[in-house]
Amino acid sequence: MTALTANPTNSRLKYVWEKQKPQVHPEVMMDLISAVAERIMPPVESSRQETWSSRIEVAAKKADPKFAATFIAWKWRDTPINAAPYDIVNAVGDAGKVDVPFVDAVLAMVVEMPEFRKSASIDGLVQWFAKEMNRLFLLSKAVNAPEYPAYYDAKYARLQQVLGEDPVLVEWVEKKKPSLSKLDVDDLFKGITAFEEDREPEVVYPPEGKKTRGWDGWEVVQLKTKTQIQAVGEKLDNCLQKGSSYTDKYCEMAKSGKSAFYALREDGEPVLSIQWSPDQKDPEQVLGSDNSEPEGDAEERINEWIKSRGGKHRRWSRLSASARELAELIESEGLYEDDEAIASYATDWDDAFSLGDAKDWIRMVGVWHLDLARAMSDEKLDPEEFKKLPEEVREYLFEDFESLDEDDVKEAVLLGLLAGEMEGREGNRESNKPKERKGPARDEEGSRIQTEFSRDLEFYGEFPPEERHVGAHLNP
């Protein structure tokens, strides 16, 4: 492959188009450019990020406004930027179809982009892919094709996908060194599939050639293929295994780069599986056999590796991100010590409240009083409002909540709010008096309301239901 990558990508594309122009259809050439761009350019993460086609639009506006109208039409029609350009152009009307002058203009701008002026791992394959893609394209259009056109369309699409994003393609060519002159599409597909199934995962830790203390017999490997991911899942009997409702999703995430998957192995056998999101410093999941948490030597080894990557081990890796935060809060506040119990409490609180509200309620009522927090939320009280209830009201709710029915809770809350409002009014009256006349009346009144809370409950129960609202019997 060294000789094949001697020339940069733009030279390969120019050679294909200039030397094979009579044979290569313009539509095929546009698909070839699109696939190569997908391989060598950074993935598009947001609408603000430049793509090869958006750069062409800018360049076209400077060189030929009429030509630029074609690219403007892409966005005007809300067509995905990775869609086949000829489909878009054919639908535009005045812009016409993709023809030789159109590709000439596109290629002239593409080859000047910095990414295309460097050598890339797939450069030596560009000419072969152009030939095979063109052959399949023409077969799909032939009236007397021996198979249905859709058969060739499917092969064509897969070939374009392999060139653009298949992670195994380059490694297969470098290690198996197939003869490109004798290679056909079916040979390529079979070769990549067999290679993917047979290859060993790559060791990523300890670093090659570096002896790391405590790692004799231990290693972390990256799982890049569906076969590798599912094999580890089978060994650990966890959610990565074939047949799991998650495995297809995980394999697609590994393929697209949205997540990376690893395995901690001891003497060649997987002990833990790890899911890692590229935009995070910490793993999303660290799971052992039967989705268990890591422990013992395995936990020590995996924590060391995570630390070497600038992260920290999240002990409750099976939980959602918000539930993990709640678990860490529960532990840091000293509210519970058992890991499994903490995970259970964190999950329950996460299901009941938003992250911010759950944290506030846990700090206010502790981890055990979820039902009380739910009841207060039903009464439209947030943690700060609950804190303002008289102390005896809160103690009454804490101590007797399990024996109270819904009406008891409502009455207690309303009386607590009533007491707070009365105390507030007394405070306002006191604040309006001259300072020299200020006395203990406010404190005495507040104390009376709190210490006589039980009597107030009986008194409040005498009012008709329609009059049971805060401030109903306060004189202005």
User: Do residue 50 and residue 178 come from a single domain?
Assistant: yes
pLDDT in tens, 413-436: 888 788 766 655 555 445 444 444
Residues 25 and 157 in one domain: yes
pTM of the shown model: 0.49
Would the pLDDT of 462 be above 70?
no
pLDDT at 357: 92
pLDDT at 394 over 60: yes
Shared-domain flag, residues 156 and 20: yes
Reduced 3-state DSSP string for the chain? CCCCCCCCHHHHHHHHHHHHCCCCCHHHHHHHHHHHHHHHCCCCCCCCCCCHHHHHHHHHHHHCHHHHHHHHHHHHCCCCCCCCHHHHHHHHCCCCCCCHHHHHHHHHHHCCCHHHHCCCCCHHHHHHHHHHHHHHHHHHHCCCCCCCHHHHHHHHHHHHHHHHHCCCHHHHHHHHCCCCCCCCHHHHHHHHHHHHHHCCCEEEECCCCCCCCCCCCEEEEEECCHHHHHHHHHHHCCCCCCCCCCHHHHHHHHHHCCCEEEEEEECCEEEEEEEECCCCCCEEEEECHHHCCCCHHHHHHHHHHHHHCCCCCCCCCCCCHHHHHHHHHHHHCCCCCCHHHHHHHHHHHHHHCCHHHHHHHHHHHCCCCHHHHHHHHHCCCCHHHHHCCCHHHHHHHHHHHHHCCHHHHHHHHHHHHHHHHHHHHHHHHHHCCCHHHCCCHHHHHHHHHHHCHHHHHHHHCCCCHHHCCCCCCCCC
Asked whether the predicted pLDDT for residue 203 surpasses 70, the reply is yes
Query: Quick one: pLDDT at residue 8?
Result: 86
Please compute the mean of the pLDDT values over residues 388-393 and round it to a whole number: 84
* Number of domain units in the chain: 3
pLDDT of residue 319: 75
pLDDT at residue 185 greater than cutoff 70? yes
* pLDDT over 90 (residue 272): yes
Which of 286, 318, 350 finishes a domain?
318
Does a structural domain hold residue 325? no
What pLDDT is recorded for position 411? 85
Can you give the pLDDT at residue 44?
Answer: 61
Tell me the pLDDT tens digit for each residue of 38-96: 888 876 655 555 677 777 766 666 655 555 555 544 443 344 434 444 333 343 333 34
Mean pLDDT, the chain, rounded, equals 75
Looking at the fold, whether 347 and 460 belong to one and the same domain comes out as yes
pLDDT of 476 reads 33
Range of the domain at 388: 332-467
Asked, for residue 433, whether it belongs to a domain, the answer is yes
* 47 within some domain: yes
Q: Please give the pLDDT value at position 87.
A: 39
Compute the average pLDDT of residues 235-243: 87
Does 118 lie in the same domain as 37? yes
Share of the chain above pLDDT 70, in %: 72
Tell me what percent of the residues of the chain surpass a pLDDT of 90: 12
**Domain-located, residue 203:** no
Question: pLDDT per residue over 117-138, tens digit each?
Answer: 888 888 889 999 999 999 888 8
Same domain for 159 and 22, yes or no, is yes
In a domain, 462, yes or no: yes
pLDDT for 359: 92
Please state which of the ranges 31-35, 94-98, 367-371, 402-406 shows the lowest mean pLDDT. 94-98
In this prediction, residue 435 carries a pLDDT of 45
pLDDT at 443: 45
The pLDDT value given to residue 456: 47
Domain boundary among 294, 318, 342: 318
- Do 392 and 301 lie in one domain? The reply is no
Domain match, 267 and 119 both: no
Residue-wise pLDDT tens digits, 308-364? 887 765 566 667 778 888 888 888 888 777 777 888 899 899 999 999 999 999 998
- Residue 327 falls inside a structural domain: no
Provide mean pLDDT across the span 149-160: 83
